[in-house]
Amino acid sequence: MTQPKESVIVRIAGAAGDGIASSGEIFGKVCSRLGLHVMAYNSYQSAIRGGHVWLQLNVGSHKTLSHGEEPDVLVVLNKTSPLVHVPSVKKGGVVFYNASNITENLSKMRDDVTFYGVPFRELMTDKGADMVMANIMLTGAVIHILGLDPQVGLDFIRDRFGKKQEEVILLNQKIFKIGVDWAKQNTKPLEVVLKGDGKRRMFLTGNHAFGMGLLAHGVKFYAAYPMSPSTGILHYLATKSKSHQIVVKQTEDEIAAVNFIIGAAHAGVRAATATSGGGFSLMVEGIGLAGMLEEPIVVINVQRGAPSTGIPTKQEQGDLNMMFGGSGDFARMVLAPKDTEDAFYTAGRALNLAEKYQTPVLILSDLFLSEHFQTVESFQFDAVPIERGKIQESVEGGYKRYLITEDGVSPRVLPGTPGAMYVSASDEHDESGVVISDVLAGLPSSLDIRNKIHAKRMKKLEMARAEDMRLPALTGPADADITLMGWGSTHDAIEEASQLLREAGVNVNHLHFTDLYPLPVEGVLEILNSCREIIAIETNFSSQMVRLIRAETGFTIKRTINRYDGEPFTGEDIFNRLQEVLAHV
């Protein structure tokens, strides 16, 4: 007799406007409140209403590392979804649907899956009950079939709709309870045992974590133009602007956004913005300006399918090359958090690094990391103490804003400090900020100033390599035959694939980069040379991290697995793709 499973994959499918996201939020947060682990992914289109969308949640008694592939439980809310999703349900799985809307006999589609048609209109005749609320009823049915406590769902509905009128709350609770009761009478429990540890966890997205990380680490000015999939950070911070006394500005475009935060950083406050690839393209000139002015800014690029408008609601890691855009050479740092929890701490680190080195720090997120929901342990708010770098509170004698120092970082002052006037210009300048093209153009002395000031700025990269840039993490057996290499948001999926490979008898480990530039070359090379066979895994076409490693270290990684169809990797997907690669190793 087989043991019941300790995890289950639930997929909810329908059209935009059918309440897919709210169903997933209710189900996911009920699970998280019960102490279960959840990883969720929402696959949606650009259309506000209509189109086809689906959301998948992988729920388990232990940490789940991806949203999974084939669902055990499918919930379909419109007539087109069964044809798309029923074929992918696991053998022995179940399908719930609104029988008041989907009148076809779905049982003809498969004989190895159980179908439950919930008659929403027959069960719910109350005034105010709309067909779109069938998602609440079906969620209640799923809660029951999985053996979860429905009271937690009723409590969450009150929390979720707490700002609405009492009759709205009670109506939604009633619909949910009817779904639970219907399932008690008409369904058989699924063979799954979901045992939570009783610990309530946060259930949030990477964008929430970025916003929380910025707030917790002292950001006081945030400017952005809404661009999917980065807009969640703007939405979150806007709700906290009064309570946390920060300025949140929605600008007319991305050029304005980056220039706003440069001005705010110049004024002495911690400042950040976020955008996606197209918006980052517009910010490049401003980021170069921050490099010349040596202003500490943080820019989060939430990557999406590209080029141009591309596939704006889909996944890609295609913007790493663009992090080196801009005219000329200037110091910048590039970080790529590996998961939702890491997004929180990376936001704080980025603010610290920006002020320590007085230079732009760029964070590479992507649609999957920024928008997928995941259960997360409580953040440690003192793990990244605020460090503001070389801020000089007073000046004695003259002040040189761009003083040439051994480490390349000059003491800065806040505007208004007595005796600390200086020029802040985008043209090349001397230590006081005086533009050399105005007074010394072509003279040997001006060439000498250019060389010294430019070299001063670039020194920051060597200091960062030595002091702050972290080596990639190598997990698993040191003598592994195969090393799976990734960066950023592919971390959990590669971990899951590594587990599946070990179960299949493959000796494998996992090398993962989160600090992308400047690479600590010697340490990275030592790790790379210790690996027998490296296979790079990236959600882009051209293996951009492989290219960066080759450019920085001279080390060539020959084998790659690339996905660029707009959907994120799962562990099972990587495992299946590896079979062909391993056949040629």
State both tokens at 134.
Answer: 């069938």
Supply the angle between the helices 444-467 and 340-357 in degrees, to the nearest 10. Answer: 150
Boundary-marking domain end, from 185, 200, 215: 200
Boundary-marking domain end, from 173, 200, 227: 200
Q: What is the C-alpha to C-alpha distance for residues 259 and 262, in angstroms, rounded to an integer? A: 5
**Same-domain check for residues 153 and 220:** no
Q: For the sheet with 473-475, list strands across it.
A: 473-475, 508-513, 482-487, 534-538, 559-562
Is residue 410 domain-resident?
yes
Angle in degrees, CA 29, 300, 404, rounded to 5: 140
Q: What is the C-alpha to C-alpha distance for residues 144 and 381, in angstroms, rounded to an integer? A: 37
pLDDT tens-digit readout, 315-336? 999 999 999 999 999 999 999 9
Mean pLDDT of 410-435: 93
Boundary-marking domain end, from 433, 468, 503: 468
Is residue 252 domain-resident?
yes
Is residue 383 domain-resident?
no
- For residue 205, CA distances in Å to 317, 480, 513 come to 18, 33, 21
Is residue 556 domain-resident?
yes
The mean-pLDDT minimum among 226-235, 386-395, 438-447 falls in 438-447
How many other CB atoms sit within 10 Å of the CB of residue 188? 10
If one compares 147 and 198, the residue with the highest pLDDT of the two is 147
**Same-domain check for residues 28 and 172:** yes
Does position 368 have pLDDT exceeding 70, yes or no?
A: yes
The mean-pLDDT minimum among 46-60, 252-266, 372-386, 517-531 falls in 46-60
**Same-domain check for residues 51 and 72:** yes
Strand 559-562 relative to strand 534-538: parallel, antiparallel, unpaired?
parallel
Q: In CATH, what number is assigned to the domain containing residue 223?
A: 3.40.50.970
**In which band, very low, low, confident or very high, does the pLDDT at 18 lie, cut at 50, 70 and 90?**
confident
Structural domain boundaries enclosing 493? 473-582
Q: What is the pLDDT of residue 46?
A: 76
Is residue 381 domain-resident?
no
DSSP string, 378-408: PP-TTSS-----SB-S---S---TT---TTS
Is residue 499 domain-resident?
yes
Q: What is the pLDDT of residue 399?
A: 94
Residue 479: burial class (beta carbons within 10 Å; 0-12, 13-18, 19+): exposed
**Same-domain check for residues 63 and 138:** yes
Q: What is the pLDDT of residue 397?
A: 84
If you average pLDDT over every residue of the chain, what do you get? 94
| Rg over CA atoms, the chain | 27
Does position 1 have pLDDT exceeding 60, yes or no?
A: no
DSSP string, 161-185: TTTS-HHHHHHHHHHHHHHHHHHHH
Place of tokens 């602007």: 241
Mean pLDDT of 296-317: 96
The mean-pLDDT minimum among 346-350, 400-404, 576-580 falls in 576-580
Q: What is the pLDDT of residue 579?
A: 87
**Same-domain check for residues 415 and 340:** no
**Same-domain check for residues 181 and 214:** no
State both tokens at 278.
Answer: 């197209």
The mean-pLDDT minimum among 42-46, 167-171, 288-292 falls in 42-46
Q: What is the pLDDT of residue 437?
A: 75
If one compares 373 and 398, the residue with the highest pLDDT of the two is 373
Q: What is the pLDDT of residue 235?
A: 98
**Same-domain check for residues 302 and 324:** yes
Which residues does 189 contact at the CB level (< 8 Å), separation at least 6? 145, 146, 147
**Same-domain check for residues 307 and 286:** yes
Does position 352 have pLDDT exceeding 70, yes or no?
A: yes
**Same-domain check for residues 23 and 170:** yes
pLDDT tens-digit readout, 58-71? 999 999 999 999 99
The mean-pLDDT minimum among 98-102, 224-228, 260-264, 296-300 falls in 98-102
Does position 298 have pLDDT exceeding 90, yes or no?
A: yes
Mean pLDDT of 420-426: 92
Is residue 1 domain-resident?
no
Q: In CATH, what number is assigned to the domain containing residue 28?
A: 3.40.920.10
**Same-domain check for residues 98 and 189:** yes
Is residue 101 domain-resident?
yes
**Same-domain check for residues 259 and 357:** yes
Q: In CATH, what number is assigned to the domain containing residue 543?
A: 3.40.50.920
Q: What is the pLDDT of residue 49?
A: 67
Q: How many domains does the chain have?
A: 4
Q: What is the C-alpha to C-alpha distance for residues 121 and 130, in angstroms, rounded to an integer? A: 9
**Same-domain check for residues 461 and 477:** no
